[in-house]
Structure 1
């Protein structure tokens, strides 16, 4: 067997050709993903995503007048809102002395039998009243009374259109 000499060909060097291009390409993808996530976070933080629920505060005189009543004297924590949808719906919440609730209902709705303690829909409701169309109005009234201790009651007054 004869041995042949092999020629060694020197490898040609290309100046400036390194593996940094591959390394940069590999790092560019996660960097772009992180930059995109940061841009989405900033956009999410500065966009207005509030929703108008249509609920706004109104004067309590307006709310009670819609239901054919007057605001009770001596009421505490009285808040009144209007849910403006197709038909208005007024809601008032307040605290009133327990012994004054029946007198206020009787004065505001003399033709009604007053508060009842049976067949009240909500959980924990101790007394209620549902009245059909109020005189001169096309609105109905719902009252829910929850006793808050021996002296106070929480009252929810809702007046709405049928």
Structure 2
């Protein structure tokens, strides 16, 4: 038997596919997710998410003047706010000696009405109240609620508003 010589044909070498494409695709999804979370965090940090309730502190002289009264002398813990809505609503809270509450109301509103201790709403804590509608020369109505704060002091809530 005779051997025949065979010619070897060189094989065409094509560049092979690497797995880098698959690796990149697998890493792209979590990377984009992390980038989106970072973008949301940055947006959250730099946006003003405070809610304007329309309530701001004001001078108590302004609040009482709107309701046609003067701030009581001897009041403690006086705080006043304005609710800015369609119609302004002024509110003042303060402590006043129980013996001085009626005198302050009478001096502020000599034409009445005075404090009453019946029909003061459903709150059993309120021992005296007053509702005064707008009087000539004034545009505001006034509500007062007086509650006990110990044996000598009362908490007074003064609200002046336009109806």
CA–CA separation in structure 2 for the residues paired with 1:122 and 1:43: 47
CA–CA separation in structure 1 for the residues paired with 2:68 and 2:160: 9
TM superposition score normalised by structure 1: 0.83
Tell me by how many angstroms 1:121 deviates: 2.5
Structure 2 SS opposite 1:104: helix
CA contact (8 A) 1:68 1:108 kept: yes
Tell me by how many angstroms 1:160 deviates: 0.8
Larger CA deviation: 47-56 vs 83-92: 47-56
CA–CA separation in structure 2 for the residues paired with 1:107 and 1:12: 111
Instruction: Report the counterpart of residue 87 of structure 2 in structure 1.
Output: 87
Instruction: Report the counterpart of residue 133 of structure 1 in structure 2.
Output: 134
Q: CA RMSD in A?
A: 2.0
CA shift in 2, pair 1:13/1:151, >3 Å: farther
CA contact (8 A) 1:117 1:127 kept: yes
What is the number of equivalent residue pairs in this alignment? 152
Instruction: Report the counterpart of residue 105 of structure 1 in structure 2.
Output: 105
Larger CA deviation: 96-105 vs 78-87: 78-87
Larger CA deviation: 34-43 vs 20-29: 20-29
Larger CA deviation: 26-35 vs 82-91: 82-91
Q: Which runs of 5+ in 1 are unaligned?
A: 1-10
CA–CA separation in structure 2 for the residues paired with 1:106 and 1:150: 22
CA contact (8 A) 1:68 1:135 kept: no
Q: Which runs of 5+ in 2 are unaligned?
A: 1-10
Structure 2 SS opposite 1:65: helix
Counterpart mapping for 1:55-70 below 5 A = 55-70=55-70
Matched, 1:72 2:78: no
